[in-house]
Structure 1
Amino acid sequence: MTSAPQLLTDPFLQLPTATSVQVVWFTEFAGVNHIVTYGENLKQTARASTTKLSRTREDQQSRVASQNQDGQVYQKPVQRDIWRHEAEVTGLTPGVRVNYRVTSVQEDGKSVDSDVFSLAATPKSDTPLKILLTSDHQLKPMTAANLQKVVETVGRVDGVWFAGDLVNVSDRASEWFDDNGGGALFPGLQGRAKHEMTHNGVKTIYTGGQIIQHAPMFTCIGNHEVMGRFARTGSLNDEFDDTIPRVVAQRIYPDKSLIDNSFNTNTYEEIFSLPKSKEGEKRYYAVSFGDTRLVVLYATNMWRTPKLDGKFKGRYREAEKDLNNPENWGYGQVIYEPIAKGSKQYNWLESELNSPEFQQAKYKVVMFHHPPHTLGDNIVPAYTEPVQIIERDSDNIKAVRYEYPKDADYIIRDVVPILEAANVQLVFYGHSHLWNRFVSPSGMHFLETSNVGNTYGAAWGDRKREVPIGYQEDYVKLGDPNGLEPIVPTIAPLLGEDGKPMPYIASNDITVFSIFDTGTGTVSSYRFDTRKPDSEVLKFDEFKLKLSSLPLPPGNKFPG
């Protein structure tokens, strides 16, 4: 007996304009017809275009269908066929929500419908909006609870800004769609997750929240959206880790595909429809949404272990077994897209900060993945190109080490100063899996609200970062390496063991989300204790963005 066809995801919204929005969904069949019906009594129809994802696979570490342990079904990466459908709904009026539903028809004529959801054009200026600020979901254990509490607390949000690390391994299909643990990206954001948490013998199943069926999502690239050399290793985990700089790939593989043999964001770019810039395509862009100009940068690097025992391809040294095999070197924490002054991305950013759309926006927000200020571990070493040091004994290589000069941190040295000069009010990022925030002397806010699903701790008090001893650079063990003091939450901070308020949340039991209310200019952060499923969601911090000085006339440059 053939089972009834199913959609792999509910529809979700992308690329709103003043009169239209894109509706996207996925199936595991190519089908013969895919449509959106919308409007009064769903009488209007938009036909979808269909493409097949090119690199989605499952492997021995997948947790999908009947595979619940390594290698039960898959012993190596195997292609998984997934089709993406996208239709443009037109004729919209800003401020007017419209019902819609998607339908996909299989080759045998059997069809499947989604539920009915609502969509809208991009909001006009002066429309008060509630925007979810989130990042680093990565199938982590508290994520479904987090997203469920977003909807229960604030209702339907108007947009989602996602500061990177949506999944763990970008080419592993189940991490996006249907991981057995209930933490896959789309089910969580669509209220279809089934993640079980147990505390003191009490089981609670969290379903996530029905969010992106109704609200467009704007994302940026984190390190987990980047895959390494294609199909060179035996597992997707290893392929993810197998990134090398483009310049090295050109030297090692002069006659082969540069993207296939260094790193790529193919799956990420195939899944999402995002605004584009001429220079960066989907990888970095800017978009106006209500009263806000959101600038999205591609600022992330390859996470590598700080361990120094010689067994690992790390951030500070190469593995001893590979010293005489440079093809297997990791080359330190590879920066994927140049952002230093004079780079293409930097020049684009400078132009964007001078654009009328940016200058005349009431709120100016910049989003990227790597933290400029944090108590987390992942800010060390500095965000700069690794300086390779090869130690030799006669003709033999004894060690390959990497230094990261702190005064060459591209984000702090080059990017932050021009954001300050352009009156950016909020810089939003992730990566370290905690909540903390900072304010610069000029009043620019920095917010990291990535304690969504789990944490790796904060470098505060007695807990220090793992940094190398005996290297030339000063790798900061405690606090923010870039000199700002963290802000203690303004409403209900957690207390440390000493009874004093803590300026951060780094917890595997308490999940955090933040909401930007453009009507009041406030950013509010909430926490929920998953050990107490019947407890209330608590607002613990709130701050207000300063209004920019009067917008500059078109054509005038920001000072600096």
Structure 2
Amino acid sequence: MTSPPQLLTDPFLQLPTPTSVRVVWFTEFAGYRHLVSYGENLATTVCAKTTKLSRTREDQQSRVGSQTQDGQVYQHPVQRHIWRHEAEVTSLTPNKNLAYRVTSVREDGQSVSSNVYSLAPTPTPGTPLKILLTSDHQIKPMVAANLQKVVETIGQIDAVWFAGDLANIPDRASEWFDDNRGGAFFPCLQGRAKYEIDCNGTKTSYTGGQIIQHAPMFTCIGNHEVMGRFARKDSLNEEFNDTIPRTVALKLYGENFLKDNSFNTDTYEEIFTLPESPEGGKTYYAVSFGDVRLVVLYATNMWRYVNTDGGKQGKYGEPEVELDNPENWGYGQHIYEPIAKDSQQYNWLVQELNSPEFKQAKYKVVMLHHPPHTLGDNIVPAYTDPVQIIERDEDGNIKAVRYEYPKQADYIIRDLLPLLEAAQVQLVFFGHSHLWNRFCSPSGIHFLETSNVGNSYGAAYKDKKRKNLPPWQNQDYVAIGDPYGLEPVTPTIAPMLDENGQTIPYIASNEITVFSIFDTGTGTISSYRFDTRKPDAEVIKFDEFKLKE
């Protein structure tokens, strides 16, 4: 018996303007007709444009269909055929919500429709909004619980700001759509997840939250949106880790083969319709939404292992077995898109910070993936280009390759933050270290990292040192606290306590998940926590602060 046709995702909203919004959804069939019905009695229809994702695949590590262990179905990467449908709904009235539904018709004439949801164009200034701040989902264990509690606590969200690391391996299709563990990206954000958390033998199932069917999402690129050299390795995990700088790829492979032999964000850019800048396209941009001007930066680098055991490419060096093979080097934690002074992105940012749209906004917010200030591990080493040091013997043979990252050359601290201070940015929002902590600069910029969504890697605080320091002593690599001297802010309402009963200025937990909400009507940002070990526990608001207008 043939199963009825299904949509791969519910519809979700993208790229709102003052009079329009895009509706996007995915199927595993090309079909011959895809449309959005909207308005009173869903009487108005608009047809969608269909494209096919070019690089989505499954492999040995996928958890999809009947594959629950490595290699049961797939022994190497295999293309997965997925079609994307996008329709632009136009002639909308500001601040007026309309009902909508999508329908896809297969080649055999069978049709499938979504449930009915609501859409609206960009809200006008003065409209109070509740915006979810989130990041680093990466198909982690607590994401479904986190997003379910967002909806149960706050109700309908007006927008989502996502500070990078959406999936774990961006070309692995099931991580976006239907990972059989129940916590894929779209199901969690659409209330269709089925993720079980086992706590002392008691299993609780979480569905996530029905959020992006009604609320547009603005995202930025994290290191997990970037794939490495295409099809050079025999698994998607290895391909993801196989990135080298474009300058190196240019020398090794030439201009015509540059992208496939360095890194790419193709799947991320094919999935999402985002605002675009002339210089950066979807990778960095600015957008006005209600009272907010949101500036989104492409600030992330390749995450590497601390050591080179087992032939791994390292933060601080190359594996001994590859010293004579520069094409197999990792080149340290190289930066994907320049942001240093006088780079294209930097110059674009200078223009944006001087634009009328930015200057006239009530709230000025910058979103990026890499942390300017944090207690997390991932702020070390400094955000700068690795300085390569090659040691040779007396015959000129390579003995070792290592990398230094001078702290004084950190591009975010040295070049970016002075711009933001001068432009009176009120909030810098970021992720990457999988924890919650916040800081405030002497001039009043708030720095918020609210990425303890699925799991955490700890915080460097008091006697807890970072785990990613180099094997040599150097003051450029700070073991405890924020490397750039800001003190973390203790939560204002209900801080957590350490084992000695003392308050701590962070949450770094694999059982307690955190989300934050920006209420533009009051200018406040509130953070909430939920203990997944106690399914009946209440959601606790533990911190709140207000942005100056």
> Which residue identity is paired with 1:185?
F
String of CA shifts for 1:23-50, please: whole Å, max 9, x gaps.
0000000000000000000000010000
Q: Distance in 2 between the 1:5 and 1:337 partners?
A: 41
SS state at 1:35 partner: strand
> Which residue identity is paired with 2:495?
P
Q: What's the Cα RMSD here?
A: 0.9
Q: Distance in 1 between the 2:388 and 2:318 partners?
A: 10
> Which residue identity is paired with 2:142?
M
> Which residue identity is paired with 1:485?
E
String of CA shifts for 1:32-89, please: whole Å, max 9, x gaps.
0000000000000010000000000000000000111111000000000000000011
Q: Distance in 1 between the 2:171 and 2:133 partners?
A: 24
2:508 aligned partner: 506
Paired residues for 1:285-324 under 5 Å: 285-307=285-307, 309=309, 311-324=311-324
> Which residue identity is paired with 2:463?
D
String of CA shifts for 1:140-188, please: whole Å, max 9, x gaps.
0000000000000000000000000000100000000000111110000
1:272 aligned partner: 272
User: Are the equivalent residues in 2 in contact too, given 1:287–1:294 (CA < 8 A)?
Assistant: yes
User: Which sits farther off after the overlay, 91-100 or 126-135?
Assistant: 91-100
Per the normalisation by structure 2, the TM-score is 0.99
- 1:361–1:2 CA distance, 2 compared to 1 (3 A): same
1:532 corresponds, among 531, 534, 541, to 534
2:31 aligned partner: 31
Q: Distance in 2 between the 1:281 and 1:113 partners?
A: 32
1:475 corresponds, among 471, 474, 477, to 477
User: Are the equivalent residues in 1 in contact too, given 2:190–2:210 (CA < 8 A)?
Assistant: yes
SS state at 1:417 partner: helix
User: Are the equivalent residues in 1 in contact too, given 2:382–2:409 (CA < 8 A)?
Assistant: yes
2:263 aligned partner: 263
2:461 aligned partner: 460
2:345 aligned partner: 345
CA drift at 1:472: 4.8
> Which residue identity is paired with 2:503?
P
> Which residue identity is paired with 2:41?
N
User: Are the equivalent residues in 2 in contact too, given 1:403–1:473 (CA < 8 A)?
Assistant: no
> Which residue identity is paired with 2:400?
A
Q: Distance in 1 between the 2:43 and 2:311 partners?
A: 63
Q: Distance in 1 between the 2:178 and 2:106 partners?
A: 20
Q: Distance in 2 between the 1:314 and 1:227 partners?
A: 17
Equivalenced residues, count:
547
SS state at 1:239 partner: helix
CA drift at 1:255: 5.7
> Which residue identity is paired with 1:232?
R
1:71 aligned partner: 71
User: Are the equivalent residues in 2 in contact too, given 1:310–1:317 (CA < 8 A)?
Assistant: no
SS state at 1:9 partner: coil
Q: Distance in 2 between the 1:340 and 1:473 partners?
A: 22
1:496 aligned partner: 498
Q: Distance in 2 between the 1:22 and 1:408 partners?
A: 41
What 5-or-longer segments of structure 2 have no aligned partner?
A: none
Q: Distance in 2 between the 1:535 and 1:116 partners?
A: 32
Per the normalisation by structure 1, the TM-score is 0.97
Q: Distance in 1 between the 2:308 and 2:175 partners?
A: 31
Q: Distance in 2 between the 1:293 and 1:351 partners?
A: 14
1:90 aligned partner: 90
> Which residue identity is paired with 1:89?
V
User: Are the equivalent residues in 1 in contact too, given 2:405–2:476 (CA < 8 A)?
Assistant: no
Aligned identity (percent) is 77
SS state at 2:259 partner: coil
1:184 aligned partner: 184
CA drift at 1:125: 0.3
Give the ranges of 4+ consecutive aligned residues of structure 1 lying more than 2 Å apart after TM superposition. Answer: 307-312, 469-474
SS state at 1:260 partner: helix
CA drift at 1:284: 0.1
1:127 aligned partner: 127
User: Are the equivalent residues in 1 in contact too, given 2:311–2:322 (CA < 8 A)?
Assistant: no
SS state at 1:348 partner: helix
User: Are the equivalent residues in 1 in contact too, given 2:306–2:315 (CA < 8 A)?
Assistant: yes
2:104 aligned partner: 104
